[in-house]
Structure 1
Amino acid sequence: MDTRRSFLYKGALALTSCGMSVKAPRELLAAQEASTPSICFGLLTDCHYAAKAHVGSRYYRESLNKIDDAVRQFNDSKADFAVELGDFIDAADDVDTELGWLRKANEHFAKFTGDRHYVLGNHCVATLSKKEFLNTSGAKKAYYSFDRGDIHFVILDACYRHDGVSYGRNNFDWTDANVPPHQIKWLQNDLKSTFLPVVVFVHQRLDGNGSYFVKNAMEVRSVLEDSGKVLAVFQGHSHKNSYKDIAKIHYCTLRAVVEESGIENSGHAIVSIFPDRSILVDGYRQQSDYDLKKTSR
Structure 2
Amino acid sequence: MPSRRTVLAGGAAMLAAPRPGASAAGSTALRFGVVADPQYADADPHLGLQRYYRNSLGKLREAVAAFNAEDLDFVVTLGDVIDRRAESYDAILPVYAMLRHRHVVLLGNHDYSLAPEDLTAQPGLLGLAKTHYDYTVGGIRFVVLDGNDVSLFAPPPGDLRWQIATDRLGRLAAQGADNAKPWNGSLSDAQFTWFGSVLDDARAKRQRVIVLNHYPVFPANPHNMWDAGRIVELLASQPHVVAYFCGHNHAGNYAETAGIHYVNFHGMVDTPAENAYAIVEIAGDHLDIRGFGREPSRALRLRSA
TM-score tier by shorter-chain length is 0.7 to 0.9
Counterparts of 2:151 and 2:55, CA distance in 1: 34
Root-mean-square deviation (CA, aligned residues, Å) is 2.1
Please tell me whether the aligned partners of residues 120 and 156 of structure 2 are also in contact (alpha carbons under 8 angstroms).
no
Larger radius of gyration: 1
Partner of 1:177: 185
Question: For each residue in 1:278-297, what CA deviation from the matched residue of structure 2 results, as whole angstroms up to 9, or x when unmatched?
Answer: 20011011110010012257
> Is 2:276 the partner of 1:287?
no
Of 280, 283, 286, which aligns to 1:271? Answer: 280
Counterparts of 1:296 and 1:249, CA distance in 2: 11
Question: For each residue in 1:160-189, what CA deviation from the matched residue of structure 2 results, as whole angstroms up to 9, or x when unmatched?
Answer: 3469x84468x7863441112111100011
Counterparts of 1:228 and 1:46, CA distance in 2: 30
Shift of 1:100: 1.5
Q: Which amino acid aligns with 1:121?
A: G
Partner of 2:219: 208
> Is 2:89 the partner of 1:102?
yes
> Is 2:46 the partner of 1:46?
no
Question: For each residue in 1:22-58, what CA deviation from the matched residue of structure 2 results, as whole angstroms up to 9, or x when unmatched?
Answer: xxxxxxxxxxxxxx65211110011110001111121
Count of aligned residue pairs for this structure pair: 251
> Is 2:245 the partner of 1:234?
yes
Shift of 1:122: 0.6
Counterparts of 2:197 and 2:256, CA distance in 1: 24
Runs of 4+ in 1 over 2 A off after TM superposition: 128-134, 160-163, 165-169, 171-176, 208-211
Question: For each residue in 1:233-269, what CA deviation from the matched residue of structure 2 results, as whole angstroms up to 9, or x when unmatched?
Answer: 111111023110011100011111101111xx11000
Q: Which runs of 5+ in 2 are unaligned?
A: 1-26, 166-180
Counterparts of 1:174 and 1:68, CA distance in 2: 32
Counterparts of 1:118 and 1:174, CA distance in 2: 23
> Is 2:258 the partner of 1:247?
yes
Of 66, 69, 74, which aligns to 1:76? Answer: 69
Q: How does 1:22-33 map to 2 (within 5 A)?
A: none
Counterparts of 2:252 and 2:93, CA distance in 1: 24
Partner of 2:51: 58
State the secondary structure of the residue aligned to 1:270.
Answer: strand
Partner of 2:18: none
Please tell me whether the aligned partners of residues 130 and 167 of structure 1 are also in contact (alpha carbons under 8 angstroms).
no
Q: 1:162 to 1:116 in 2, by over 3 A?
A: closer
Query: What is the percent sequence identity of the aligned residues?
Result: 26
Shift of 1:134: 2.4
Q: TM-score with structure 1 length normalisation? A: 0.79
Q: Which runs of 5+ in 1 are unaligned?
A: 1-35, 92-97
Partner of 2:15: none
Of 219, 226, 231, which aligns to 2:230? Answer: 219
State the secondary structure of the residue aligned to 2:194.
Answer: helix
